[in-house]
Structures are given as C-alpha cells and as structure tokens.
Amino acid sequence: MSFIIKARREPIILEGLRAALSRIDPTHEKYAVLNTPHLLDEKNFSLLINDLLHSDKEFIPKPLCVTYSLQKNDVFTGVFCPSCSFLGMTKYRGGWRCPACSRKDSHAHFQAIRDWFLLFGGKITNRDCREFLNISQRQTATRILQSMELHAEGEKRNRTYALTTFGKSEQ
C-alpha cells in the first residue's frame, strides 16, 4: 500500500475510531486508559493508529474488542444522531429519527455498522446487526446489510457479511 493511500485514509480511520470508542461503557475497567486525557493518551493513540495503519494490506484494522479485551456488553449499542450525537435513533420506514432533536436521516446506520466492524471485526450476522442497531425486523437488517457493499457469504439464515476494506462503504 502506498503512503498516499494511507495518508488519505487516516482521517477516515481517526474519525471512525473516535466514534467507535465513544460507545465503550464508562464503567468498563479499560475506559480510564481509553479516555486519558482524551479518548486515548497520545502515546497509546499513536501506537493504535500505527497498528491500524499497518494491520494488513487490505486495511481492515484489528478489532478494538481484541486490542482492549472488550465484551459485547461493554459497548453501547444503537445509532448515533448525526446532528446532536444522541445515541438511540429510532427506525421508521424511511430511515432514522432522533427522539432528542427530531432529525431524520436515512443513512445514520452506516456509521453504526462501521463502528461494529471497528469494535468486533470479522463477520456480522443479521442478529448482530439487529442487536447493535436496536431493530426488531430481520428484513430491515437484511436491507441495511445488503445496502452497504459488504461481502456476503452463506445462504439465508446463515448468511454473514464482511467488510472488504475499511472506509470503502461510504455512502
């Protein structure tokens, strides 16, 4: 991978990483490490970024849950409001609605799915998607996952979706 590609992608990684880290439960023992003085101290942040940038040639970073020994219940689920950052937009037929500021957004889930991959890595299932976005309908999750240019594998209920490269699934 050329330096130019890395330089172009680094802001996407940084922005994505900050969003993903903001989902970690503040009562988690690692939270203090992750948030001093900012999200990470400069040394650890540099190390992490370096790790992410060099993780592999397809540029899929090592999952944060592996780096920081996080469990699924250490992480806040839901969709962030792009206007007021409220976590917990609700799904309606045309997209997402923020209960705090009434913003409507049809693509708010993109960031959440990217957060999921940064946090957990590997392959996302329909159930993972429903649990993370707090939606109940299997069909809704299927539509969301199919809209994101992910690599689908397996049939019907066993289908999983993987990120092909981080930052590719831009809207």
> Which residues contact Zn ion (rule: CB under 5 A)?
81, 83-84, 86, 98, 100-101, 103
Q: Which is nearer to Zn ion, 79 or 135 (CB)?
A: 79
Q: Can you read off the two tokens belonging to residue 64?
A: 């944060």
Q: Which is nearer to Zn ion, 90 or 164 (CB)?
A: 90
* Residue 125 one-letter amino acid: T
Q: Are 19 and 115 in contact (CB under 8 A)?
A: yes
Q: Which is nearer to Zn ion, 55 or 83 (CB)?
A: 83
For residue 96, the minimal CB distance to Zn ion (Å) is 10
CB neighbourhood size of 46 (10 A): 11
Element containing residue 45 per DSSP (H, E): helix 42-53
Q: For the range 89-95, what are the long-range contacts, defined as Cβ-Cβ under 8 Å and sequence gap of 24 or more?
A: 91/133, 91/135, 91/140
Q: Which is nearer to Zn ion, 134 or 142 (CB)?
A: 134
For residue 81, the minimal CB distance to Zn ion (Å) is 3
Element containing residue 64 per DSSP (H, E): helix 64-67
For residue 112, the minimal CB distance to Zn ion (Å) is 14
Residue 8, phi-psi category: left (phi > 0), alpha (psi -120 to 50), beta (remainder): alpha
For residue 23, the minimal CB distance to Zn ion (Å) is 16
Q: Which is nearer to Zn ion, 88 or 122 (CB)?
A: 88
Beta bridge partners of 151: 162
Helix (DSSP H) and strand (DSSP E) numbers for the chain = 7, 6
For residue 92, the minimal CB distance to Zn ion (Å) is 14
